[in-house]
Amino acid sequence: MGSEYEESRDIISNLPDELLCHILSFLPTKFAVGTSILSKRWRYLWASVPILDFDDELWLNPSTLVELEERIIMFQNFVDGVLRHSEVSCIKKFRLGYRDNNLDSVYSWICIALERRVQELDLHLLIDWGVELPPMFFICKTLVVVKLSCALFLDIPTTVWLPSLKALHLKSVEYSDDDSIQKLLSGCPVLEELVIEREERDNQWVVNVSNPSLKILRIFFFTDGFAHPYEQEDQDYKVVVDAPNLEYLSITDYLSKDYFVKDLPSLVKAFIDVEQDSEEFEESPHNGGISYHGPIYELLGRISNVKCLSLTGVTLDVSFLCPPILPTFHNMTCLEFLFIGGFNWDFLPNFLHSSPNLEALVIETVCKYPM
């Protein structure tokens, strides 16, 4: 009765291979591979899991005594080994978290993933200098989602063709010049979502986002707290957006000075969190007084057809001296203010007057900025 009884209790192993692989796909690859010593049934399952998730954090366990270098080598060997023996010819997702400066490994791993028709590529690198992407990355037919984070140097080749790419996240990436982002976007015919998290000194003065299919755009740009060499330069950071199909726009940007936004007829929701220069005040004959004509209000003018607008206290902060001239928000049904600390009621009447169809007004005090 012994083994039969046990067998009858081993329900999970009766699940079909696909289901077991599906379960394993939710695990970091390290643990998925570990199941190979559980029992006969589980021995080779991991090799068919189409999701590869490597994070060297799981190897850099400070509680064990093995030295860091050894750990890194173990990790590299592990990734090499898994890639060699995985039987998956179409990788659904390849995720890599890596913080060693041995870039050759990374380069070859990316190549292998691309060769195996990877659909989602998620690279999170914490290294001292940029790793370059292989040329085949820029002409990969299968990539649908790409997330690049930290210290990747994007030297965009002349030919970019990513026919399946729908979502692109660029975080803390260093570019070769002002045209980088645009060169990249011009080769993405079906791109729907673009998220750019910038850092200073990433070689982009003008972020030029121009793409006909784009629906969601998020820009993040903070100061990193260090001394700003750009302050000595005459150049200002600027943002240019030309995306006629854009439905959602989110800008959290404390460094750019100008925003040039072309018409966004499809815009549904916008979140604006920008810091304004107090030097934008000027005399205005209209009101017989001082008024504010900063870029932020031009921006608001360009997105005046939006349905839901969220503004932060930082955005509105500068205008405490005088009421701004607002466009009329014909379509706006929902207006949201997010503040840290106190709320300045001065321009609320202006907004209410400019929003004839407003249905909901939300005022929220938050502890953190929403991302």
Partner 1 sequence: MAEVDTAVIKPEMMKSYIWLQTADGSIQEVEQEVAMFCPLICDEIIQRGMGSSKNNAITLPQRVNPVMLSLVLDYCRFHQVIGRSNKERKSFDEKFIRMDTKRLCELTSAADSLQLKPLVDLTSRALARMIEGKTPEEIRETFHLPDDLTEEEKLEPLKNITDDPRIRLLNRLYARKRKELKERERLKNVEVEEECVDYRSVDDLLSFINGGNEDSKGVGTSKNKKKNRRRKDQQKNTSSNHAIETTHKKESNCLKSVHHDVEINNNLQSSPSERSKLQDIQDDMFSPQANFEDGDIDDEFDPAIQEKIDREVEDFERILNSDWPERMQEILSLGRERKPINGNGSLSRDG
Query: Restricting to residues 1-20, which ones interact with partner 1 according to CB under 8 A?
Result: 3, 6-7, 9-16, 19
Tell me: does residue 334 bind partner 1 (CB under 8 A).
Answer: no
Stretch that binds partner 1, among 61-69, 183-191, 258-266, 299-307 (CB under 8 A): 61-69
Query: Restricting to residues 204-233, which ones interact with partner 1 according to CB under 8 A?
Result: none
Tell me: does residue 59 bind partner 1 (CB under 8 A).
Answer: yes
**Could you tell me the smallest distance in angstroms from the CB atom of residue 130 to partner 1?**
14
Which residues have CB under 8 Å from 189's CB, separation 6+? 163, 213
Yes or no: say if 241 and 263 are a contact pair by the CB < 8 Å rule.
no
When the beta carbons of 237 and 248 are compared against partner 1, the nearer one is 248
Tell me: does residue 360 bind partner 1 (CB under 8 A).
Answer: no
When the beta carbons of 22 and 218 are compared against partner 1, the nearer one is 22
Yes or no: say if 152 and 127 are a contact pair by the CB < 8 Å rule.
no
When the beta carbons of 59 and 259 are compared against partner 1, the nearer one is 59
Query: Restricting to residues 143-182, which ones interact with partner 1 according to CB under 8 A?
Result: 157, 159
Query: What residue type is 31 in one-letter code?
Result: F
The CA distance from 125 to 130, in Å, is 9
Is 182 exposed, middle or buried (CB count within 10 Å of its CB: 0-12, 13-18, 19+)?
middle
**Could you tell me the smallest distance in angstroms from the CB atom of residue 3 to partner 1?**
7
**Could you tell me the smallest distance in angstroms from the CB atom of residue 132 to partner 1?**
9
Which residues have CB under 8 Å from 193's CB, separation 6+? 166, 167, 168, 214, 215, 216, 217
**Could you tell me the smallest distance in angstroms from the CB atom of residue 82 to partner 1?**
8
Stretch that binds partner 1, among 23-31, 247-255, 279-287, 292-300 (CB under 8 A): 23-31
Stretch that binds partner 1, among 55-63, 232-240, 241-249, 350-358 (CB under 8 A): 55-63
C-alpha torsion 61→65→68→69, nearest 10: -130
Tell me: does residue 67 bind partner 1 (CB under 8 A).
Answer: yes
The CA distance from 83 to 113, in Å, is 8
Contact with partner 1 (CB under 8 A) among 61, 226, 286, 288: 61
When the beta carbons of 131 and 318 are compared against partner 1, the nearer one is 131
What is the residue whose two structure tokens read 């590869």? 52
**Could you tell me the smallest distance in angstroms from the CB atom of residue 197 to partner 1?**
24
Contacts by residues 235-241 (CB-CB < 8 Å, ≥ 24 positions apart)? 235/205, 236/205, 237/204, 237/205, 237/206, 237/207, 238/205, 238/206, 238/207, 239/206, 239/207, 239/209, 240/206, 240/207, 240/208, 240/209, 240/210, 241/209, 241/210, 241/217
Query: Restricting to residues 96-135, which ones interact with partner 1 according to CB under 8 A?
Result: 102, 104, 107-108, 111-112, 114-117, 135
Query: Restricting to residues 68-87, which ones interact with partner 1 according to CB under 8 A?
Result: 69-71, 73-74, 77-78, 80-81, 84-85, 87
The CA distance from 28 to 25, in Å, is 8
Yes or no: say if 29 and 4 are a contact pair by the CB < 8 Å rule.
no
Stretch that binds partner 1, among 42-50, 174-182, 195-203, 317-325 (CB under 8 A): 42-50
Q: Which of 205, 196, 198 is nearest to 230 (CA)?
A: 205
When the beta carbons of 111 and 322 are compared against partner 1, the nearer one is 111
**Could you tell me the smallest distance in angstroms from the CB atom of residue 272 to partner 1?**
24
When the beta carbons of 34 and 189 are compared against partner 1, the nearer one is 34
Alpha helices in 25-102 (DSSP H): 29-34, 68-85
Token pair listed for 331: 């379509």
**Could you tell me the smallest distance in angstroms from the CB atom of residue 43 to partner 1?**
7
**Could you tell me the smallest distance in angstroms from the CB atom of residue 356 to partner 1?**
29
**Could you tell me the smallest distance in angstroms from the CB atom of residue 117 to partner 1?**
6
